[in-house]
Amino acid sequence: MKLLEYKAHEVFSAYRLPCMHGYTASTADEVKDLAGLLTYPVVIKAQVQTGGRGKAGGIQFAEDTAELLTRSTEILNMKIKDLPVHKVFIGQKVEVATEMYLSFTLDRKSKQPVLIFSTEGGVDINEIAENNPDKLAKVLIPTGPDLSDFVLQYVIDKTGLEPALQDQFRTFCRTLYTIFLEQDCLLAEINPLIVDQAGTLMALDGKIDIDDNALYRHPEIKEFRDEITDNPLVLEARSFDFLYIPIQESGNIAVISNGSGMIMSSIDLISKRGMQVTCALDLGGGATSERIAEALCIVAKNPRVDTIFINIFGGITRCDEIAGGVKNSLEYISQKRLVIRLEGTNKEIGLDILRTISGDLELVDGLYEGVDALAQGMNI
């Protein structure tokens, strides 16, 4: 779960980490209502779940209310990397003396947190990491709830952080590491971590990614996730603990499977044959016939879907439950073409159930055979 910037600042504030304070708005009228609360000049920042906002024009400055309304309206009407901007974050402009970079992330290979710090930050941090690796410190953190002094001293020595900032830096790192652990983060990043004209460190921008598997421990983040999702099928699927994934608006095929690897393989092969998937739905494990029927009803509500490819490798999920779910949902999917591949527990029982169903339904033995059947049905 990727938090929007303003939500990351809320988390920072809750832990008393010095950060940018401001207000959010979703319409020009809301921006106008905020005008009296602001001290100019201000910065207006698009709130989207992607990077590169500055280069795309999603960060603007305003010297007065008239300019604030103009710039905010421009940003609210733009798309950044095909993502529409539904909200802006507005705060007082900060005079920056120095930009740096600080993050904690998870090193999957070592299964340990890693601290990354550079005395140079901002939009070009990736270029710095690639072209000037000596300006960047990256250190694995020994397992435990505390950030050791020797880790911080190593980072300070390697990057040459000036002495006047070292105490603040240690406090910043320890607080951000606490956030990383307590909020179940996969990433807690500050870019830029700035030094203002008074010599004070501040998180000018923040990025927090929280492990989806830990969201049950963070009900307020689950609520936020639903607030920023405007696709009703995503929300409906989520209510059944399914993952519904919109893919291509121009597609006509829905893929239903149990696992992200199966879904990605299906989409890749379908795309290579010149067909387009409009959505996918991940059942997870252990789905019952009732849940399978719900999943089929959800994808059938997508008006672009005329073909559904069900690709199941049954283990915990039994093939006879899949077949029962298909049978129970016939009144909702009767106008859809079905291509079904079942493999695993109770496969033959499931196939026997499916053979009793009349309609546009084709059973296949494997993934490649399923993609062939899809192509033949579309004369590709």
The CATH number of whichever domain residue 61 belongs to comes to 3.30.1490.20
Active site residue: 101, 177, 294, 321, which one? 101
In which band, very low, low, confident or very high, does the pLDDT at 358 lie, cut at 50, 70 and 90?
confident
55 compared with 25, residue with greater pLDDT:
25
In a domain, residue 9? The reply is: no
240 close to 256: Cβ distance less than 8 angstroms: no
The pLDDT tens digits of the residues spanning 43-75 come to: 999 998 888 888 889 999 999 999 999 999 999
The pLDDT assigned to 123 comes to 63
Instruction: Please state, in angstroms and rounded to a whole number, the distance separating the CA atoms of residues 334 and 344.
Output: 26
Verify that 84 and 124 share a domain, yes or no: no
Q: Which helix (H) or strand (E) holds 100?
A: strand 96-107
The pLDDT tens digits of the residues spanning 258-296 come to: 888 999 999 999 999 999 999 999 998 777 899 999 999
Range of the domain at 29: 22-93
Active site residue: 189, 244, 294, 321, which one? 189
69 close to 31: Cβ distance less than 8 angstroms: yes
In a domain, residue 38? The reply is: yes
Alpha helices in the chain (DSSP H): 5-14, 28-34, 65-76, 125-131, 149-159, 163-182, 219-227, 232-239, 260-272, 289-300, 319-328, 330-333, 347-355, 367-377
The pLDDT tens digits of the residues spanning 197-220 come to: 999 999 999 999 999 889 889 888
Verify that 123 and 111 share a domain, yes or no: yes
Verify that 255 and 366 share a domain, yes or no: yes
Catalytic, 189? Answer yes
Catalytic, 101? Answer yes
- Mean confidence (pLDDT) of the chain: 90
The pLDDT assigned to 335 comes to 86
Q: Nearest 5°: CA angle at 351, between 267 and 297?
A: 55
Q: Which of 33-42, 192-201, 214-223 shows the lowest mean pLDDT across its residues? A: 214-223
Verify that 237 and 355 share a domain, yes or no: yes
The pLDDT tens digits of the residues spanning 237-256 come to: 988 889 999 999 889 999 99
Percent of the chain with pLDDT over 90: 67
Which tokens sit at 71? 């710039």
Asked if pLDDT for residue 230 goes beyond 70, the answer is: no
